Amino acid sequence: MNRAIIVKSLIASIGCLALFAPRPVAAQIIPQPWVSVGAKDGDVTYAVGARALNLGVELGTGEDGATG
């Protein structure tokens, strides 16, 4: 192959890689909150949580003062 063709193909490949490379979007940076309510055998539980940057935390409480 001609050296010029190889160089042009390499430059085009790097350009496409830079153009189509995944980037974090704003939705992944902004915390995503949630609320959940559950019931089993007459016991009701409540929980709130948030997720940001692939890390989530949740705090819940139930009857009899149980938290977790």
- 30 domain residue, yes or no: yes
Name the domain count of the chain: 1
Spatial distance between the Cα atoms of 9 and 1, rounded to a whole number of angstroms? 11
What is the predicted pLDDT for the residue at 18? 77
Measured CA to CA, the distance from residue 51 to residue 34 in angstroms comes to 9
Helix ranges, 1-68 (H): 3-20, 26-29
Please check whether residue 67 lies inside any domain of the structure.
Answer: no
For the stretch 5-60, pLDDT in tens is 888 888 888 887 777 777 766 666 788 889 998 887 788 888 999 988 778 898 98
Q: Is residue 50 a part of any domain in this protein?
A: yes
Asked whether residue 46 is domain-assigned, the answer is yes
Q: What pTM value is reported for the model? A: 0.50
Residue 25 belongs to what domain range? 3-61
- Residue 53 maps to a domain: yes
Do the domain assignments include residue 68?
no
6 touches 14 (CB < 8 A): no
